[in-house]
Amino acid sequence: MSFISLKDIGKIYVSEGSVAVGIRGVNLEFELGEFVAVTGKSGSGKTTLLNIISGMDSYEEGEMLIEGEPTSHYIQSDWEEYRKKYISFIFQDYNIVDSFTVLQNVELALMHIEDHSKRRKRALELIERVGLKSHVAHKGSRLSGGQKQRTVIARALAKDSPVLLADEPTGNLDSKTSREIIELLKEISKDKLVIIVTHNFDQVEEFATRHIRIYDGAVESDKIISSHEPVLHHAINVVYDSVDSGFRHTLRNAADLGWVRYRAMPKLSVFIIFIMFISMLAASLVTATTDGFDEIFGPKYVVNHIDGRVIVSRRDGKTMTEQEVNELSEKTGAQSCLFHDYLLDSSLSGFKCTYEHVGTPDVGRFPEEDNEVFLIVPIGLKDEYMKLYDLDGDDSEGQFVVGDWTRFKISGLDFFYDNTKSSVAVFTERGFECATALSLFRSYTLSFDAEIELLSGEQSDNVMSLFSSTIMISFELPENSYAVGGSELEKILEYSAQQGREYHIGSTEVTLFGNGMERTSLSFDELDFVSDYKIQGDTGTGECVIIVSPDVLLDIVDRYYYATYYYQSSLFFKNDKEAENKIEELRNLGYSAFPSYSEKTTTGMDELLNIIISFFMIFAWACSMLFICLFMLLCTKRAMRTATSDIAVMRSMGIPVRVIKAGVYFQSAYCMIPAFIMTIAVMVTIYIVPALNYRFIFLHAPQYLLIFAAAVIITVISARGYNKAMFTQSVKKTLTGGESK
């Protein structure tokens, strides 16, 4: 049984409506150990015959048998397997991988050798054998025609296939080198089938065992020149079983191939890296600038969620006392409690408030006085708050506004980078209570402009009029005191009087002034005179204003506001799980209780509005992401197709298909790594530079993982499409520049 048999083989080429016959009615049989010379005029069909035998081109008529097995039913994957196992090819037009070095080209054919050092050693031996030792590191694009041919010959010898096909292998070599190459091919033909297409039969006549002449697509003559030693077919299987030696070896070869291609084509790699980087950076910035996007899917709490917090109130609707809250805290085993918890669920100038020492001072210190505050703000606002920060407290510039106008002295600052977090204001425990009280009423600035109308009086050093007149003065608040007012203030004072606790006008604790109020015998140290007067505060509201000490302020709030209007307090447990377990206990004690992780529920128009807003935000974001993904996909696919010939050459060499395909994925992965690093570096730079930090919303790990996962998916799709295009047509068509379908 012949190793290869051709029975009535015919090949027809169709191009732009015209039909040409490549070969027709070819009947030939080949055995291992033969050295066959094929001659004929140009265009007679010699190369077509080699392409069909190699499986790089199809045939339309007849049958080709390999070891007695028909091949007419073969599809592309079968031909790939056939070339991998049986064929080495020396091309007339070289088909060298121009971006690879001589060494890399030869090593391509040695992937069946698992040990890298042995692979390298064998490649160098073959390169030296064809006389290219000094050009090992030269890329194929820098080689002369003869040097390319020698590289291809070394590569063909490296594969050590049972069939070696050579199309004009010495066409670009000098006579001495040509003879050396022919002798080399003759030597290896002892256990292989060597078929050489040549125009110069004289060059191979003394080595050939058989001469086939092709004329006009048909076999004109087939002459035996000399006998050859027969070779058993099963002898070839030993070496080639190792080509498919397991998943690990395949993966390693693919990783090596991808890495070589990544380094060998720096312009292509840099371009793909740039496209990936631009796409991922754009996706990150679009996501970061979609203000509030996180809130669409994030939980919306009824109150400020603090781990372990439970909000309690009396079931009978009555107000709670501080003593009652303390007793309830002790009874349920809470870690702490807060009677005045109003500020936990509101904010002062956008700040969350606490009296616990959180953060670490970057400048200054934590508050020590009741009218001091420690602020934790985004790094992007550092310059702004450093200008406001006044450690010495010499002026009111460095003060934190509470309520409408009252300011706390900033004792220190801490800056954070995650600008999705809220700013925090840290008070002393007593200062927190004062801030709570001040947030309930209208409060005024440290310096208060007032208009004083003298009704009658005596001359004073500070007052330059003896008769009724009006002058403007400025009251500076005493240290650690507050100016407050509002529509409820007169009711509070009236309520206080009813409770037997009247704040006396002119005392060191309280100074009262307001629109149309007339008082006598009121002493102001600042004015140093006694007179009947009335004071109009320049607040623009016409409301009463009261200047009070912290003790008085808290007493007013305790006796009036909390006793009349405030119904809830907070207990704090170890965590939400423990808080959940304590809720039932609190309810059994006659209280209403719910955890701070309770989410809001919306109904009716609010819910519809939220859905509409969420839909448009998601739609806008999705459209942006789709555009970015399509841009990345289109650019990477186009870029990768510039290396079409490389894949075709590898296929012609019989490199396992899964190694080539996986190599493309690895090549893409190697491009993604620097793109990932560059994207992360830019985003980190944005967030560590104060001037840039506040312009983009901080993204967290899950969002970056989502963006990077999308980039990976697009890259995989691109590589998959590229592989599909490269393997859906014949090698011959790909090598000659045919379009993929």
Whether residue 391 sits in one domain with residue 291: no
Angle between the N-to-C axes of helices 145-159 and 116-129, in degrees from 0 to 180, rounded to the nearest 10: 130
Q: Examine the domain organization and report whether 454 and 536 are in the same domain.
A: yes
Structural domain contains residue 741: no
Above pLDDT 90, what percent of the chain? 24
403 against 640, higher pLDDT: 640
303 within a domain of the structure (yes/no): no
The H-or-E segment that residue 7 falls in is: strand 4-15
Given pLDDT bands bounded at 50, 70 and 90, which one contains residue 670? Answer: very high
Same domain, 411 and 482: no
* Average pLDDT along the chain: 77
Pick from 55, 69, 60, 72: which is nearest to 23 by CA?
A: 60
**Cα–Cα dist 22/10, whole Å:** 7
Burial class (CB in 10 A: 0-12, 13-18, 19+), 253: buried
What mean pLDDT comes out for the span 143-155?
Answer: 88
pLDDT band at 161 (very low <50, low <70, confident <90, very high): confident
Q: Is 146 a member of any domain?
A: yes
CB 255 within 8 A of CB 658: no
Q: Where are the beta strands (DSSP E) in 351-446?
A: 351-354, 363-364, 372-378, 399-402, 406-416, 423-426, 442-443
Residue ranges of the alpha helices (H) in 502-603?
A: 550-556, 563-564, 576-588
Residue 628 lies in a domain: yes
Q: Within this chain, do residues 588 and 710 fall inside the same structural domain, yes or no? A: no
Instruction: Give the per-residue pLDDT at 399.
Output: 66
* Phi, psi angle pair for 421, to nearest 5°: -80, 160
- Report yes or no on 302 lying in a domain: no
Where does the pLDDT of residue 130 fall: very low under 50, low under 70, confident under 90, or very high at 90 and above?
confident
The pLDDT value recorded for residue 137 is 93
Which of the two residues, 94 and 312, has the higher pLDDT score? 312
pLDDT one-digit tens code per residue, 362-374: 988 999 888 788 9
| Residue whose pair of structure tokens reads 């009711």 in the numeric block | 491
Mean pLDDT, residues 287-308 taken together? 68
Paired strand residues for 193: 163
9 versus 478: which is more confidently predicted? 9
CA distance linking residue 449 with residue 405, whole number of Å: 13
Residues of 28-65 as b/e, b for ≥16 C-beta within 10 angstroms? bebbbbbbbbbbbeeebbbbbbbbbbbbbbbbeebebb
Per-residue pLDDT, averaged over 507-536, amounts to 33
Can you say whether the dihedral through the CA atoms of 504, 506, 508, 513 is positive or negative? positive
d(CA 469, CA 456): 9
Note the pLDDT of residue 458: 40
| 53: confidence class by pLDDT, cuts 50, 70, 90 | very high
Asked, for residue 602, whether it belongs to a domain, the answer is no
Residue 590 is given by DSSP the state T
Domain co-membership, 362 together with 282: no
Tell me which residue range forms the domain holding 424.
309-441+563-595
**What was the pLDDT predicted at 300?**
66
Residues 547 and 415 grouped into a single domain: no
How far apart are the C-alpha atoms of 86 and 449, rounded to whole Å? Answer: 101
pLDDT in tens, 191-225: 889 999 998 898 899 999 999 999 999 999 999 99
Q: Tell me, yes or no, whether 533 and 621 share the same domain.
A: no
What's at 60, amino acid-wise? E
> What is the Cα–Cα distance from 66 to 53, expressed in whole angstroms?
10
| Cβ contact 63:70 at 8 Å | yes
Residues 6+ apart with CB under 8 A from 230: 31, 32, 33
How many CA atoms within 13 Å lie on the side-chain side of 193?
Answer: 23
Contacts 24+ apart (CB under 8 A), 391-397: 391/363, 391/364, 396/445, 396/446, 396/447
Strands 399-402 and 406-416: antiparallel
Sign of torsion over alpha carbons 237, 240, 244, 245: positive
Cβ atoms within 10 Å of 410's Cβ, excluding its own: 24
Answer yes or no: are the C-beta atoms of 536 and 302 closer than 8 Å.
Answer: no
Enter the pTM of the model.
0.69
Q: Could you report the per-residue pLDDT of 591-628, keeping only the tens digit for each?
A: 989 888 877 665 556 566 766 777 777 788 888 888 99
Burial profile 649-675: b = 16 or more Cβ within 10 angstroms, e = fewer:
bbbbbbbbbebbbbbbbbbbbbbbebb
pLDDT of residue 271: 93
Give yes or no: residues 381 and 362 share one domain: yes
- Which residue, 706, 623, 616, is CA-closest to 292? 616
pLDDT digits (tens, 9 = 90+) for 87-125: 888 887 888 899 999 999 999 989 888 888 999 999 999
d(CA 393, CA 395): 6
Of 33-47, 68-82, 451-465, 650-664, least confident by mean pLDDT is 451-465
Q: Is the pLDDT confidence value at 706 over 80?
A: yes
Question: Number of structural domains, the chain?
Answer: 4
Written in H, E and C, the secondary structure of 437-477 is: HHHHCEECCCEEEEEEEEEECCCCCCCCCCCCEEEEEEEEC
Q: Are residues 511 and 536 in the same domain?
A: yes
- pLDDT at position 496 is 53
What gap in Å lies between CA 356 and CA 432, rounded to an integer? 10
Stretch 393-408: mean pLDDT: 56
* pLDDT band with cut points at 50, 70 and 90 for residue 446: very low
* Of the candidates 237, 238, 243, 236, the residue with the CA atom closest to the CA atom of residue 112: 243
The structure tokens listed for 680 are: 């992360």
Shared domain check, 578 and 534:
no
Rounded CA-CA distance 101/670 in Å is 20
Domain identity same for 17 and 44: yes
Does 451 share its domain with 427? no
Residue 315 lies in a domain: yes
Q: Which of 166-170, 544-548, 664-668 comes out lowest in average pLDDT? A: 544-548
- Contacts of residue 549, defined as CB under 8 A and 6 or more positions apart, other chains included, come to 480, 481, 482, 508, 509, 510
Rounded mean pLDDT of 674-694? 87
> What pLDDT, on a 0 to 100 scale, did the predictor assign at position 123?
94
Residue 157 sits at φ, ψ, to 5 deg, of: -70, -35
- CA-to-CA distance for 407 and 396, rounded, in angstroms? 8
Question: Does any domain span residue 600?
Answer: no
Report phi then psi at 203, rounded to 5: -65, -30
By C-alpha distance, which of 285, 282, 288, 294 is closest to 614? Answer: 294
